[in-house]
Amino acid sequence: RKGNVVITGASSGLGLATAKSLAETGKWNVVMACRDFLKAEKAAKSAGMAKENYSIMHLDLASLDSVRQFVRNFRQSGMPLDTLVCNAAVYFPTAGEPTYTAEGFEMSVGVNHIGHFLLARELLEDMKQSDYPSRRLIIVGSITGNTNTLAGNIPPKANLGDLRGLAGGLNETTGSAMIDGGKFDGAKAYKDSKVCNMLTMQEFHRRYHEDTGISFASLYPGCIATTGLFREHIGLFRTLFPPFQKYITKGFVSEEEAGNRLAQVVSDPSLTKSGVYWSWNKNSASFENQLSQEASDVEKARKVWEMTEKLLGLA
């Protein structure tokens, strides 16, 4: 049978490119989990995806009710779940004030980390039931959260501190919107959320890989300077960033190439190892990359997991 893969945020950028790459193989039914149904339908059509290779289901990660509703809808479809890709993200580098999810969590960490955490925890149960030979749970990471890299050292750097803001519910009216309890900074909130994504993947691996056989992975697909992620950035940045990445840092990848990379993590038989953060070298060959000290801190991973469970009422 075809594999069933859920991809969040498949209506643009990396998620769409990955959906297209997998759909084209004819071996996957891609479930595009998107907040804007019409946009997703148009995106799939203009990418030339054949109808029999995808479906669209509504998911807004900024609302935990929507996450739970998505899980119910998915179960009602009767499809087994073979692979989950947590890809969607928001980034507010120029915001002066925080915005909030339906439950009042700062939006970047709320969508990128907390919404995905609930989704992945719920859908793990479905993946356990699947008889698919290679089941994978993938959470897209980023170099920007890794302070052991050049890109990760551009301020403001990711830093989760002692997690006091997360423990307090990530809200300025009751505490701080930032995980470390500091003043709101949109660019840092995004980087912090990506550290949470990478820590969560490793914690999943430690808790569930051995018992379930599911592979947990994260990746940095390269700098895809053309996606909508940078839509909130100032105009000059948006003009200069793609050539900067192309000619100076040489980290630039096209959306198509990045989509092929994530598709490899979904389906390539050589990328089944669990607990790994994948990257690609200049020749587009995959390798197991090193995470920064914070993004591989075992104790912090456990704390982020437990605090997030508490915020979600799962603990």
Binding site for ligand NDP (CB under 6 A): 8-9, 11-15, 34-36, 39, 59-62, 87-90, 111, 140, 142, 194, 220-221, 223-225, 227-229
For tokens 């890809």, what's the residue? 87
CB of 149 to ligand NDP, least distance (A): 12
Q: Which amino acid is at 43?
A: A
Q: Which is nearer to ligand NDP, 108 or 181 (CB)?
A: 108
Beta-strand pair 28-34/54-58: parallel
Nearest CA among 294, 19, 272, 8 for reference residue 139: 8
What residue ranges in 74-169 does DSSP mark as E strands? 83-86, 136-140
**Nearest distance in Å: CB 288, ligand NDP:** 17
Q: Give the nearest distance from C-beta 96 to ligand NDP in angstroms.
A: 20
The residue (of 35 and 136) whose beta carbon lies closer to ligand NDP is 35
CA–CA separation, 19 and 10 (whole Å): 7
Query: Of 87 and 267, which has the nearer Cβ to ligand NDP?
Result: 87
Please give the residue whose beta carbon sits closest to ligand NDP in the complex. 13
Q: Are 109 and 191 in contact (CB under 8 A)?
A: no
Nearer to ligand NDP, 100 or 132 (CB): 100
Check if the beta carbon of residue 81 is closer than 8 Å to that of residue 127: yes
CA distance linking residue 246 with residue 252, whole number of Å: 5
Which residue, 226, 221, 219, 220, is CA-closest to 246? 226
Using the minimum distance from each CB to ligand NDP, give the nearer residue, 71 or 181.
71
CB 138 within 8 A of CB 267: no
CB of 59 to ligand NDP, least distance (A): 5
Element holding 288 (H helix, E strand): strand 286-288
- Kindly tell me which of 34 and 123 has the beta carbon lying closer to ligand NDP: 34
Helix, strand, or coil here: 30?
strand
Q: Is the CB of 34 or the CB of 195 nearer to ligand NDP?
A: 34
Q: Give min distance, CB of 7 to ligand NDP, in A.
A: 9
Side-chain-facing half-sphere of 293: CA atoms under 13 Å: 2
Task: Please state, in angstroms and rounded to a whole number, the distance separating the CA atoms of residues 200 and 34.
Answer: 22
Q: Least separation, in Å, of the C-beta of 88 and ligand NDP?
A: 3
Compare residues 116 and 303 and give the one whose CB is closer to ligand NDP. 116
Q: Per the structure block, which two tokens stand in for 133?
A: 């030979």
What is the Cα–Cα distance from 282 to 130, expressed in whole angstroms?
36
8 A C-beta contact, residue 161 and residue 182: yes
Minimum gap (Å) between residue 221 Cβ and ligand NDP: 6
Q: How far is the CB of 100 from ligand NDP (least distance, A)?
A: 12
